[in-house]
Amino acid sequence: MKVIWEEGDIKAGRRFGTLTAKEKWMIGYRVTQDGMATTEWTVISLLDGMVNSLLHTRQDVADFLNNCGDLPLELIDDSWRRYIQ
């Protein structure tokens, strides 16, 4: 199966990972410090909270996920949903 991430797939809180790695990640964002409505998108490790500071737009995140071969978590293992209300 081939999954292609598009800009519209990048949503805050969406979790992803790979079939071979135990570490999982989440898509996140931050509002820039200048108080404007500018949002910078990134990915955050659920293992240790590390933030990828090289990503800025939804398209940056989509390209990163495509290059790394990451999959939405629901395609890897759906059991995590039982912990979310």
Partners of 43 in the β-ladder: 27
Structural domain total, the chain: 1
Distances (CA, A) of 64 to 61, 73, 79, 83, 85: 5, 16, 25, 27, 29
Within a domain: 44: yes
Residue 61 has pLDDT above 80, yes or no: yes
Q: What is the pLDDT of residues 8-37, one digit of tens each?
A: 999 999 999 988 888 899 999 987 776 666
Q: β-pairing, 39-45 with 15-17?
A: unpaired
Within a domain: 42: yes
This prediction has a pTM of 0.80
- Report yes or no: 54 and 43 within 8 Å, Cβ to Cβ: no
Within a domain: 1: no
Within a domain: 2: no
- Residue 45 tokens read as 């490790």
Q: Sign of torsion, CA 28 32 37 38?
A: negative
Domain that holds residue 56: 7-83
